[in-house]
Chains A and B, each alone.
Chain A
Amino acid sequence: RKEVEQDPGPFNVPEGATVAFNCTYSNSASQSFFWYRQDCRKEPKLLMSVYSSGNEDGRFTAQLNRASQYISLLIRDSKLSDSATYLCVVNGGYGGSQGNLIFGKGTKLSVKP
């Protein structure tokens, strides 16, 4: 099983649509979770951290399910500027890998007018 797994997409949605991405992770010891977005040929940029109780930042809502080891990202009222690849990121858990973050391959979102 891959450490962090995401549906690569692409998700093609019209402007204004609501879209959800899921991500599963294999290391039950992981303690911190993030969603990053990466535009084509650019570095990843932090979108939001994911907290146990779930959290919202404007049109973006992140959820964490520790029991099932999955994370979700919901985007409401999609904008053209939301088009990007969304990376699910999980820390390495305990021990030497704790400081490292494990990246999923990303889910590509394309918002059409």
Chain B
Amino acid sequence: GAVVSQHPSWVICKSGTSVKIECRSLDFQATTMFWYRQFPKQSLMLMATSNEGSKATYEQGVEKDKFLINHASLTLSTLTVTSAHPEDSSFYICSARDENRGTYNSPLHFGNGTRLTVT
């Protein structure tokens, strides 16, 4: 089945530093990938849609200068949390769908998530 790999699985960083999270589709190409964030006991909230070869689309309330997204190839999207603060501590998850199986009605496959702790 479709596999999405996310790295790192967890990271602890100091306030003010930047953290890069990678999301790779291992056995399929994805022109679109989605970045979600989940706070404890909350639902997944879409942060942005990453588009290969063009700018990401950010959801309302998500600062694009703080959460930099780069989708440089058909299998790799990165999310960089710049100048991280403790309130950015969360579970970040990327996802993609195998577009060969249909664009909108096929399920999303998730990376294993990155647990970010900012001290």
Taking Cβ atoms with an 8 Å cutoff, the residues of A that contact B are 31-32, 34, 41-46, 49, 87, 91, 96, 98-101, 103-106
Contacts and interface: CB of A to CB of B under 8 A. Distances in A.
**Which are the 10 A-B pairs with shortest beta-carbon distances?**
A43-B110, A105-B43, A32-B105, A43-B113, A103-B44, A103-B43, A46-B107, A98-B104, A43-B112, A43-B93
Contacts, number: 46
Interface residues of B, number: 23
Contacts of B44: 44, 87, 103
Among the interface residues B42, B49, B104, which one has the most CB atoms of the partner chain A within 10 A?
B104
A79 B4 CA distance: 28
Given A42-B112, A44-B110, A104 B104 contact: no
Contact of B103 (A34, A45, A99): A99
A41 B91 contact: yes
Highest count of chain A CB atoms <10 Å: which of B43, B49, B111? B43
B100 to A, nearest CB: 15
B111 A43 contact: yes
A7 to B, nearest CB: 13
21 contacts: A31-B104, A31-B105, A32-B105, A34-B107, A41-B115, A42-B112, A43-B93, A43-B111, A43-B112, A43-B113, A44-B44, A44-B93, A45-B110, A46-B108, A46-B109, A91-B104, A99-B32, A100-B34, A100-B49, A104-B43, A105-B43
Given A31-B105, A41-B115, A45-B110, A100 B46 contact: yes
